[in-house]
Amino acid sequence: MFLQLHKIISQVGKKLFPLMENKKAETNEMKYLIVGLGNIGPEYHETRHNIGFMVVDALAKKAGITFKDGRYGFTTTLSVKGRQLVLLKPSTYMNLSGNAVRYWMQKENIALENVLVVVDDLALPFGTLRLKGKGSDAGHNGLKHIADILGTQNYARLRFGIGNDFPRGTQVDYVLGHFTDEDWKTMPERLETAGEIVKSFCLAGINITMNQYNKK
């Protein structure tokens, strides 16, 4: 009798557990970490180096959701057609951004291929948006620390151009400075498009999204 009971339990378990495992795997695959890079503090608010913060802030504002202060950063979750987008603004300061990325990847059980980092880029004219699946840090301390902590440069990043119209030797002042009135004329539309790219990355995948948006 005990043998029969054991067989029944075993058979039921085999039917149930694969379903549970599949559901868990599906949940993880449907979850994404969207990291907007920047520095915390009012003195850095809406500076060029904080464009990553501004992109995820715009996404959250449009969805009517707010960030909560947590370990290593401020987070909120945005639902898009069955996908869960964990929006993260690291509170580590730029040079230690990798600590926040690693912690929230582990906490939310998010795979590396489902991570997207939104970052300012001096090499691109203001408002130019480029999605890449991997690449060097190009001298960006936030990207460098993320690569150091994760042990790889093979993570997706959305580069938001901030231009490089500054005299030699004033790069730090430029990236920590505020956008011009001219920049602000197109800023809302550029933030909107950046948000569309983030959503497309999660819904359509990186290759389709690059093909659709990188030429614009």
- CB atoms < 10 A from the CB of 93, how many? 16
Domain assignment of residue 64, yes or no: yes
Residue 162 belongs to what domain range?
A: 31-213
| Closest C-alpha to 72, from 121, 43, 107 | 107
Domain assignment of residue 182, yes or no: yes
| Closest C-alpha to 191, from 32, 67, 61 | 61
Has 49 been annotated as catalytic? Answer: yes
pLDDT at 28: 64
The tens place of each residue's pLDDT in the chain, 216 residues long, gives: 544 544 444 454 444 444 434 444 444 679 999 999 999 999 999 999 999 999 999 999 999 999 999 999 999 999 999 999 999 999 999 999 999 999 999 999 999 999 999 999 999 999 999 999 999 999 999 999 999 999 999 999 999 999 998 999 999 999 999 999 999 999 999 999 999 999 999 999 999 999 999 976
Domain assignment of residue 13, yes or no: no
Domain assignment of residue 17, yes or no: no
- CB atoms < 10 A from the CB of 1, how many? 5
Query: What gap in Å lies between CA 55 and CA 98, rounded to an integer?
Result: 19
CATH number at residue 83: 3.40.50.1470
Query: What gap in Å lies between CA 188 and CA 195, rounded to an integer?
Result: 11
Which of 6, 49, 145, 178 is flagged as catalytic? 49
Q: Are 118 and 160 in contact (CB under 8 A)?
A: yes
Domain assignment of residue 88, yes or no: yes
Domain assignment of residue 92, yes or no: yes
3-state secondary structure of 169: coil
Domain assignment of residue 59, yes or no: yes
Domain assignment of residue 93, yes or no: yes
Domain count for the chain: 1
| Closest C-alpha to 146, from 35, 28, 30 | 35
pTM strictly above 0.75: yes
